Amino acid sequence: MSDEAARVAGIGLLDLVLARADDVPATAVFYRDVLGATVQSMSPAWAQVRLANVDIGIHERGAGADAWEPGFRVADIAAFRAHLLASGVAITQDFHEIPGGVKLGFRDPAGNPIAVYQYGVRVADLSA
């Protein structure tokens, strides 16, 4: 990646690894009881656990949902979206509200899902 691309991309901290599950509470209990994770929140459709200094979000599996998705923080998700589009990258999930911020999804050339998050904004604050 060129220095300019790195500056524009602005990828920051690995914020969350998203896992999909048919039974979210049972999966969260596995991470807690078998792997020693700390459960941070749990509901029937979403749980968040902390394991080895990484947050794992366990989301109810939807039709066609991938198993794993790393999510990175960015400072300006609208600029990051523009950078992806200028680079020829297709957006697989446009701006989407999450607790405390906005998510954007895309795939690498091998088809692996990747997400970026910006906290402190709402979809209504962004111009697509």
Give the C-alpha distances (Å, rounded to integers) separating 9 from 14, 76, 119. 14, 9, 16
Based on the domain organization, do 102 and 56 belong to the same domain? Answer: no
Judgement on whether residues 5 and 46 belong to the same structural domain of the protein:
no
| Pair (86, 128) in one structural domain | yes
Please give the residue range of the domain that contains residue 119. Answer: 1-19+68-128
Strand partners, 118: 102
Instruction: Name the domain count of the chain.
Output: 2
Residues 6+ positions from 11 with CB-CB distance below 8 Å? 72, 73, 74, 116
Q: Are residues 15 and 72 in the same domain?
A: yes
Tell me the two tokens of residue 80.
């990051």
Residue 80: enclosing H or E segment and its boundaries?
helix 77-86
**Same structural domain, 9 and 47:** no
pLDDT in tens, the chain (128 residues): 455 555 556 788 888 899 989 899 999 999 999 889 999 999 999 999 999 889 999 989 877 677 788 999 999 999 999 999 999 999 999 999 988 999 999 998 878 899 999 999 999 998 65
The answer, as to whether pTM is greater than 0.75, is: yes
